[in-house]
Chains A and B, each alone.
Chain A
Amino acid sequence: MVSTTHEGRQTPAAPIAPSTAPLAIELRGISKAFGPVQANKDICISVRKGTIHGIIGENGAGKSTLMSILYGFYKADSGTVLINGKEVQITDSQAAIAAGIGMVFQHFKLVENFSVLENVVLGAEDGGLLMPSLGKARKLLKQLSDEYELSVDPDALIEDLSVGHQQRVEILKALYRQADILILDEPTGVLTPAEADHLFRILEGLKAQGKTIILITHKLREIMNVTDSVSVMRRGEMTATVSTADTSPEQLAELMVGRKVLLEVDKTPATPGAPILEVEKLTVVDSHGVTRVKGVDLTVRAGEILGIAGVAGNGQTELLEVLGGYQTGTGVIRVNGQELDLTGKASDGQSRRARGIAHVPEDRHDEGLILNFAAWENIVFGYHHDPEYQKNAWIMDNAKIKKIAHEKMERFDTRPLNEKLEAKSFSGGNQQKIVLAREIERNPDLLLIGQPTRGVDIGAIEFIHQQIVALRDQGKAILLVSVELDEIMALSDRIAVMFDGNIMGERLPSETNEQELGMLMAGINNGADATLSEGA
């Protein structure tokens, strides 16, 4: 999943802050416990002014807790915080803002039906009346957006903006409050690659102006590309702080997980068999009357992984939805040579499952799981009519389901291994393992899998990728949709790129590179398609 190439590494635009630059932030011995859970244990960090400092760690390693302490959301049990060499008491967010700290949360703290301007001034108004504040903010926003490539329409409503633009509003909010220290929590989780690149350019610009930036992420590539130094957290402790130039993704991964991690997916060349999935001229029109998929043709053979790359929103979601049976379409879809119904009663998810199609949906919170239900219940959803789970004609065999759930979770290394816990109490990676356990264990002929590792930590990513490859090696067909180009490159035996509802082209991973795929993702095709050469 994680690329080990360093091609993307940029030389910093600004002169690197000398190691003698004063410390902007110094945390000494920060500890914080939630009940019996020690979220932060004696954490010490120092970050020099004018640098980008990465904090990396798996989900639940305590990164967010630490930053919440710095932003006044939690009070540390012990430890001191020094900002620009002076000890400060950060009792609440107001105090953090006053100390020059700005935070961009993973889930944006914006009022959706307010304008950009209103969101920026909220809480930082100049007086009782609104108009003077808004006028001042408008001017300052113009200035900031010119300076840092942070252009947004000040009068647009937040709900009309793309996620990338919403994030810019968050950054503008911090800058408007004259933040010198900017903390970004998992900023690229929701961004397209182009948006992420833009964000990093903005961060470089801020750094050049002497701002200090803390970047929390679990993506190694981002750390390698943009940070000057990096701290690694594991289970509430700070395991290492190193200069980015002196480290490697492999070393960081090992520090994060506590053991060696395979960053490259270990797989043998595919041996494709007979076509399992054949899609011809598939067209999907959504409920707003917009054509999302425009006559797509594709084939997935037994024992191969077809990866669909593309920027989110170019029809991949709808493609998966039609195949999974909860969206209607026109065209022809054959599985094992037999045509599927695309409309009507026999086009639902139940019928799809009956035809040997398993589906790991892109959005596991909305479609993959019912978060308030226990893991054992989630592990049978969709297959709950199966005679295996029934005691008799009327009653389900819950004891048996729990037992089966426990076994499946054990095989998929789900932690904590407790089938009675609600799905929402598992981390992202373990939730995904529950979904995978449900779908893969049914031994499908075709696995549809969307964004398999979105919001999943690195140890779990390795495991999930191994499972997908293992399924392929059993001779199953796999259709993989991901917006992570690294993931597509690492897993796919063949790559199709979707743009604006069309397949822009197909490539073999061995014969292409990120640049070429990036061009295809932007709708530019000037090479030969892999299918042509492969058809022989």
Chain B
Amino acid sequence: MDYLTVLQILDSTVRLATPLLLTCLAGLFSERAGIVDIGLEGKLLVAAFMSGAVAYVTGSIWLGLLAGVAASLVFSMIHGLASITFQGDQLISGVALNFLAAGLTVVIGQSWFALGGRTPPLSGNGRFGEWTLPFSDAWSKIPVFGPTYSELISGHTALTYIALIAVPLSWWVLYRTRFGLRLRAVGENPSAVDTAGISVVRLRYMALIIAGVLCGLAGTYLASLAAGFVKDMSAGRGYIALAALIFAKWRPWYALSATLIFGFLEAVGNRYQSISIGDFVIPVQFMQALPYILTVVILAGFIGKAIPPRAGGTPYVKER
């Protein structure tokens, strides 16, 4: 395996980790505020569909992005209405949204484009262009650093860079701002926030808005990467992001590492369709199942003890 192959795998790791990272951060904001967000998957899917559809019709992925974020926000607000305002069960609301997304995207897609639920392929400005960072060419001849810079660091779409910047930004917001303190507090002990004279409901809606925007970005990224929307294209990434969130112990920097691990497994699975060890050939299905296997392992609790936000999953009701 030469250095270039390694770089290519890592490059594809970053590519595949991007939507996971954005979704994971979305989950981080809502769960840190005490809203369990199993509906990440559904938000990804509606965002991918709406962005794919609008990008095709308008020919601009940026308009598609707006539509994707808007669709994801609508789902986020439905989740908020059910679980914050009406104090319903957050799991049920999330699962319902996932089903709604899976059905709605295909039905509407079929009615608009009559392509069996998919959108027509995106091309040109209908997809995100790759950003070539400055000096990419000039430096590419420098040994080791050159190829690393031009292959791995340069040449991603805007959303990848946004996702990477979102990590320190999320950390800063959570741990260095008043909003972050209150957000974390509301996920741990909402009554402490309430008695301090701050609205629990408002804070939780704010968290869901952030989650909605981030999921919208992730969904649009998927549509752009695959050059169009395909039925069920999120392929469980919402759930994988949730697993990564647990793995990351609900912290932004850990979320980056966790999603990179998942991205790496997916990249390896894509590149090495079959690996032979002696006479035994590892089947391609196994390689592609790697991220999902890791998900199961994490969810089964093999990765140490992860303490979720204490008020997670419970609607806040003022006590007597």
**A residues within 8 Å of B by Cβ?**
34, 64-65, 68, 71-73, 92-97, 103, 105, 109-114, 118-119, 121-125, 127-131, 133, 173
Could you tell me if B177 and A113 are in contact, using CB atoms closer than 8 angstroms?
no
Q: B residues 147-195 with Cβ under 8 Å of A?
A: 175-182, 184-185, 188-189, 191-195
CB < 8 Å neighbour of A111 from B179, B188, B198, B318? B188
Nearest chain B CB to A119 CB, angstrom units: 7
A118 CA to B175 CA in the complex, in Å?
A: 11
Q: Is the CB of B192 within 8 A of A110?
A: yes
Chain B min CB distance to A468 (Å):
31
Residue in contact with A109 in the complex, picked from B178, B181, B191, CB distance below 8 Å = B191
Say how far A275's CB is from chain B's closest CB, in angstroms. Answer: 47
CB neighbours of A34 from chain B (8 A): 320
Instruction: With CB as the reference atom, state the residue of chain A lying closest to B187.
Output: A111
**Is the pair B195, A109 in contact by a Cβ cutoff of 8 Å?**
yes
Of the candidates B179, B185, B195, B198, the one whose C-beta lies within 8 Å of that of A114 is B185
| Interface size classification for chain B | 20 to 34
Contacts of A96 on B, CB cut-off 8 Å?
Answer: 197
A112 with B197, Cβ < 8 A, contacts A130-B178, A130-B181 known: no
Please state if A112 and B180 are interface contacts (CB–CB under 8 Å): no
In the complex with contacts A93-B194, A97-B197, A131-B176, A121-B189 CB distance below 8 A: no
Select one of A64, A112, A131 contacting B189, CB under 8 A. Answer: A112
- A118–B189 touching, CB < 8 Å: no
Interface residues in chain B, defined as those with a beta carbon under 8 Å from any beta carbon in chain A: 175-182, 184-185, 188-189, 191-198, 310, 318, 320
Please, how many angstroms separate the alpha-carbon atoms of A73 and B191 in the complex? 11
Q: If the complex has contacts A93-B195, A93-B196, A112-B310, are A122 and B188 also in contact, measured as CB distance less than 8 A? A: no
Q: Are B176 and A122 within 8 A (Cβ)?
A: no
Pairwise interchain contact A110-B181, C-beta atoms closer than 8 A: no
Q: In the complex where A111-B185, A112-B189 touch, is A129 in contact with B194 (Cβ < 8 A)?
A: no
Contact at B310–A123, with CB atoms within 8 Å? no
The answer for the CA separation of A416 and B230 in the assembled complex, in Å, is 62
Contact B195 A103 (CB under 8 A): yes
Residues of chain B with a CB closer than 8 A to A114's CB: 184-185, 188
Contact B197 A123 (CB under 8 A): yes
Given the known interface contacts A128-B179, A133-B178, the answer about A93 and B192 at a Cβ–Cβ threshold of 8 Å is: no
Identify B195's interface contact among A65, A95, A105, CB under 8 A: A105
Is A130 in contact with B180, judged by CB distance below 8 angstroms? yes
- Take A109-B189, A110-B192, A114-B188 as given contacts and tell me if A130 and B197 are in contact as well, using a CB distance cutoff of 8 Å: no
Instruction: Assess whether B177 is in contact with A123, with CB atoms less than 8 Å apart.
Output: no
Which residues of B have CB within 8 Å of A92?
197
New A-B pairs, 11, CB < 8 Å, besides A111-B185, A123-B193: A109-B189, A109-B195, A109-B196, A113-B310, A121-B181, A123-B182, A123-B196, A125-B178, A129-B178, A130-B176, A130-B178
Contact B197 A122 (CB under 8 A): no
CB pair B185–A122 under 8 Å, yes or no, is yes
Residues of A within 8 A of B197 (CB): 72, 92-97, 123
B177 with A129: CB separation less than 8 A: yes
Instruction: State in angstroms the CA–CA spacing of A310 and B180 once bound together.
Output: 43
Return B288 CB to nearest CB of chain A, in Å: 39
B308 to chain A, nearest CB (A): 11
Residue among A94, A122, A173 with the highest chain B CB neighbour number at 10 A = A122
A197 to B177, CA, bound (A): 38
Contact among B181, B310, B318, B320 for A122, CB-based, below 8 A: B181
Cβ distance A329 to chain B, nearest Cβ, rounded Å: 29
Query: Do B178 and A128 touch across chains, with their CB atoms under 8 A apart?
Result: yes
A429 to B196, CA, bound (A): 31
- Complex-state Cα separation, A93 to B196, whole angstroms: 7
Bound together, the chains give a CA A88 to CA B310 distance in angstroms of 36
Residue among B175, B184, B197 with max Cβ neighbours from chain A (10 Å): B197
Residues of A within 8 A of B176 (CB): 129-131
Q: With a CB–CB cut-off of 8 A, which chain B residues contact A122?
A: 181-182, 185, 192-193, 196
- Residues of chain A within 8 A (CB-CB) of B195 are 71, 73, 93, 103, 105, 109
Most buried by A among B181, B191, B193, B194: B181
Listed by A's residue number, 29 A-B pairs whose Cβ atoms lie within 8 Å are A64-B320, A65-B320, A68-B320, A72-B197, A73-B318, A92-B197, A93-B194, A93-B196, A94-B198, A96-B197, A97-B197, A103-B195, A109-B196, A111-B184, A111-B185, A112-B189, A113-B188, A114-B188, A118-B181, A118-B185, A122-B181, A122-B182, A122-B196, A123-B182, A129-B178, A130-B177, A130-B178, A130-B181, A131-B176
Chain A nearest CB from B106 CB (Å) reads 42
Interface pair B198/A123, CB less than 8 Å apart: yes
Q: Is the CB of B178 within 8 A of A110?
A: no
Q: Which residues of B contact A130 (CB under 8 A)?
A: 175-178, 180-181
Which residues from A are CB-within-8-Å of B180? 130
Q: Which interface residue of A114, A118, A123, A127 has the most chain B CB atoms within 10 A?
A: A123
Chain A residues near B189 (CB, 8 Å)?
109-112
Pick the most buried of A72, A95, A113: most chain B CB atoms within 10 A of its CB.
Answer: A113
Closest 10 CB pairs of A and B: A123-B196, A94-B197, A93-B197, A109-B192, A125-B178, A109-B195, A111-B188, A111-B189, A111-B185, A123-B198
In the docked arrangement, what's the CA distance between A129 and B196, Å? 18
Do the beta carbons of B192 and A111 come within 8 Å of each other? yes
Q: A127 — which chain B residues lie within 8 A by C-beta? A: 178
In the complex, A486 Cα to B231 Cα: how many Å?
72
* CB pair A124 B181 closer than 8 Å: no
Contacts of A133 in B (CB 8 A): 178
Contacts of B188 in A (CB 8 A): 111-114
Q: In whole Å, how far is A313's beta carbon from the nearest beta carbon of chain B? A: 24
Q: Report Cα–Cα, A397/B195, bound state, in Å.
A: 47
A65, B319: Cα distance in complex, Å: 11
How far, in angstroms, from A84 to B179 measured CA to CA in the complex? 33
Q: How far is the CB of A130 from chain B (nearest CB, A)?
A: 5
Q: How far is the CA of A73 from the CA of B196 in the complex (A)?
A: 11
Nearest chain A CB to B186 CB, angstrom units: 9
The smallest beta-carbon distance between B266 and chain A, in angstroms, is 33
Q: Tell me the complex Cα distance, A73–B197, Å.
A: 10
Contacts of A94 in B (CB 8 A): 197-198
> Residue on A with the closest CB to B179?
A128
Q: Which residues of A contact B178 (CB under 8 A)?
A: 125, 127-130, 133
Q: Which residues of B contact A95 (CB under 8 A)?
A: 197
Q: State A296–B195 Cα separation when bound (angstroms).
A: 45
CB B93 to nearest CB in A, in angstroms, measures: 24
Residues from chain B with a CB closer than 8 A to the CB of A105 are: 195
Give the docked Cα–Cα distance between A129 and B188 (Å): 20
Question: In the complex, what's the smallest C-beta–C-beta distance from A108 to chain B, in angstroms?
Answer: 8
| CB nearest to B194 among chain A residues | A93
Output the least CB separation between A5 and chain B (Å): 36
Contacts of B192 in A (CB 8 A): 109-111, 119, 122
* Bound CA span A92–B196, Å: 10
> Considering the chains assembled together, what is the distance between the CA atoms of A121 and B198 in angstroms?
12
Instruction: Please indicate the chain A residues that have their CB under 8 angstroms from the CB of B193 in the complex.
Output: 122-123
Give the distance in Å from the alpha carbon of A131 to the alpha carbon of B196 in the complex. 19
C-alpha spacing A94/B194, complex, angstroms: 9
Q: What's the least CB distance linking B88 to chain A, in Å?
A: 20
How many angstroms between the C-alpha atoms of A72 and B194 in the bound complex? 11
Q: Could you say which residues of chain A place their CB within 8 Å of the CB of B182?
A: 122-123
Q: Complex formed: what's the CA distance from A92 to B193 in Å?
A: 13
Tell me how far the C-beta of B189 lies from the nearest C-beta in chain A, rounded to whole angstroms: 5
Q: Considering the chains assembled together, what is the distance between the CA atoms of A125 and B196 in angstroms? A: 11
User: Which residues from B are CB-within-8-Å of A72?
Assistant: 197
B177 touches A124 (CB 8 A): no
Whether B310 pairs with A125 at a CB distance below 8 angstroms is: no
Residues on the B chain within 8 Å of A125, using CB: 178, 181
Of B179, B180, B192, which is in contact with the most chain A CB atoms at under 10 Å from its CB?
A: B192
